């Protein structure tokens, strides 16, 4: 139905045209649509050349099934599908193996995903780790209907990447190569090819809608966001630029319904290519390791440290036995540049360190007590240091001379006492921790707002060590005399984990 407004507009236009003809006026030239009005140029030729390199990944896994199986749960019943549903065959295949297995016996469960060939000579296929995780058998299915068994070369759970190997002599393979994801801009056209819902060889097109997305899936999140349709089964498939280069690996979607709503995420080639190379060569990753614990630099922390802007990664602790345990970097330092690369946010540092070679000597630019300086650090290996870091208390700073003693002090909404045998036993504080212990926190105080709790230990204030209640009082008083609005505190947990907080002093 045409709206009244539109009809009126049409009548006015018709009347105006009639009037113009009657008085002999020259009609305006016809509107010419711009070249892009009919959509982008066809990607058919591009897709045709890439389909052969994109594969479907089929896995099978033996699990407990049936009634009273593992966990005592009952088998999931066959869903009721509409007559003629395109998924009928898929569910028939999935559930037929469950018949007669209601006694908890093992059964085979299948899953589907996507992947792509990156080395035709060696038969190397890339996919997501979650596509093949815990699989007993992995099969690679090609667009021409052929199938090959695959063996697992290596996986990386931190980036969700897996590398497979198939027999390159069994079939002539077509490979694609990684492109430069750093050159991709928001608004650039991209094309995804994959195996959504088991429907292999599916091509979708969209644009890059955002970059540098952190979806909290891992320590190195830096996803490309795209509105090209990505659904279940697309995981592990490639995201191509318009030159046919892989600039991302499709990994995740945001979807309340389970289907595409135009928000998909791809691992950028900048990250993926290095991981794939290491998995091919070593069967595992070999990442650089700095041996520090970090936290964000907030506006309050930046002000407390004398920094003009909040940037970089604040060092909250040093791993004992790590690469910088000899004092090159200290708690309270802010890393603003690593090996020539700017550290804008906290999450930038783990990624650039991990991408650096093990054993490399790098220049690290830090801000220490308001002064910018450069230190030289030789990187360790992350995989070797992870066990060392787990459960290892951060290296404490040595306390200053105690001076005159005060049994307890009340500052900034906290009651601070001596850290002695009694308070260590009361709060369970490790022997390695030094400082002044917080014994109570006033409700609705500035300290309570920052999440400080009784049993935490103040080890530094404004990057100066404190070990007694009197030193805490004196340091806060000195900051107030300097006109400071916030006090930067380094706190240790009962096990020695360090963190920084800022507390208002007004």
Identified catalytic residue from 235, 260, 434, 467: 235
Give the chain's largest Cα–Cα span.
106
Identified catalytic residue from 156, 160, 227, 300: 160
Quick check: is 273 catalytic? no
Q: DSSP class of residue 209?
A: E
Q: DSSP class of residue 305?
A: T
Nearest to 235, CA basis, from 217, 220, 219: 217
| CA gap 344, 235 in Å, rounded | 30
Identified catalytic residue from 58, 111, 114, 130: 130
Nearest to 276, CA basis, from 59, 121, 129: 129
| CA gap 225, 19 in Å, rounded | 53
Quick check: is 235 catalytic? yes
Nearest to 66, CA basis, from 103, 91, 93, 110: 103
Give one DSSP letter per residue of 459-493, joined into a string. Answer: EEETTEE--SHHHHHHHHHHHHHTT-SEEEEEEE-
Torsion of CA 250, 255, 259, 264, to 10 degrees: -20
In our burial notation (b when 16+ CB lie closer than 10 A, e otherwise), range 123-137 reads bbbbbbbbbbeebee
Contact 149/139 with Cβ under 8 angstroms?
yes
| CA gap 465, 445 in Å, rounded | 24
Residues assigned a catalytic role: 130, 160, 235
């Amino acid at each position: 139905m045409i709206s009244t407004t539109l009809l009126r507009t049409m009548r006015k236009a018709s009347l105006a045209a009639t009037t113009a003809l009657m008085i002999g006026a020259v009609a305006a030239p016809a509107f010419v649509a711009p070249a892009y009005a009919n959509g982008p140029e066809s990607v058919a030729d591009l897709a045709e050349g890439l389909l052969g390199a994109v594969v479907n990944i089929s896995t099978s896994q033996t699990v407990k099934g049936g009634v009273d199986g593992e966990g005592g749960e009952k088998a999931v019943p066959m869903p009721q599908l509409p007559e003629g549903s395109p998924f009928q065959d898929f569910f028939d295949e999935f559930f037929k193996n469950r018949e007669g297995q209601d006694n908890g016996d093992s059964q085979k469960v299948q899953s589907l995903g996507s992947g792509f060939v990156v080395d035709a000579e060696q038969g190397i296929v890339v996919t997501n780790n979650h596509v093949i995780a815990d699989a007993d058998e992995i099969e690679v299915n090609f667009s021409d209907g052929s199938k090959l068994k695959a063996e697992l070369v290596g996986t990386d759970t931190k980036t969700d990447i897996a590398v497979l190997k198939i027999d390159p002599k069994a079939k002539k393979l077509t490979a694609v190569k990684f492109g430069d994801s750093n050159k991709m801009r928001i608004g650039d056209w991209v094309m995804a090819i994959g195996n959504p819902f088991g429907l292999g060889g599916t091509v979708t097109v969209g644009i890059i809608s955002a970059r540098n997305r952190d979806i909290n899936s891992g320590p190195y999140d830096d996803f490309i966001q795209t509105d090209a349709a990505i659904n279940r089964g697309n995981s592990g498939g490639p995201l191509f630029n318009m030159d046919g280069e892989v600039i991302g690996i499709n990994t995740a979607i945001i979807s309340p319904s389970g289907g595409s709503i135009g928000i998909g995420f791809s691992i950028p080639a900048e990250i993926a290519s290095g991981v794939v190379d290491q998995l091919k060569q070593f069967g595992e990753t070999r990442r650089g390791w700095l041996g520090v614990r970090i936290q964000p630099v907030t506006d309050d922390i930046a002000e407390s440290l004398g920094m003009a802007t909040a940037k970089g990664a604040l060092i909250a602790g040093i791993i004992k036995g790590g690469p910088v345990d000899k004092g090159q970097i200290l708690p309270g330092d802010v890393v603003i540049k690593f090996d020539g690369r700017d550290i804008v946010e906290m999450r930038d540092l783990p990624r650039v360190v991990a991408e650096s070679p093990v054993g490399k000597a790098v220049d690290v630019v830090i801000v220490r007590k308001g002064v910018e300086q450069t230190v030289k650090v030789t990187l360790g290996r992350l995989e070797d240091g992870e066990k060392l870091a787990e459960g290892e208390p951060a290296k404490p700073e040595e306390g200053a001379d105690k001076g005159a003693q005060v049994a307890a002090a009340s500052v900034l909404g906290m009651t601070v006492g001596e850290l002695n045998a009694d308070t260590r036993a009361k709060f369970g504080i490790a022997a390695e921790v030094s400082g002044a212990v917080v014994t109570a926190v006033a409700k609705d105080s500035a300290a309570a707002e920052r999440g400080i709790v009784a049993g935490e230990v103040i080890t530094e204030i404004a990057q100066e060590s404190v070990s007694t209640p009197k030193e805490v009082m004196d340091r806060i008083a000195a900051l107030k005399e300097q006109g400071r609005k916030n006090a930067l505190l380094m706190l240790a947990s009962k096990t020695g984990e360090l963190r920084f907080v800022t507390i208002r002093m007004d």
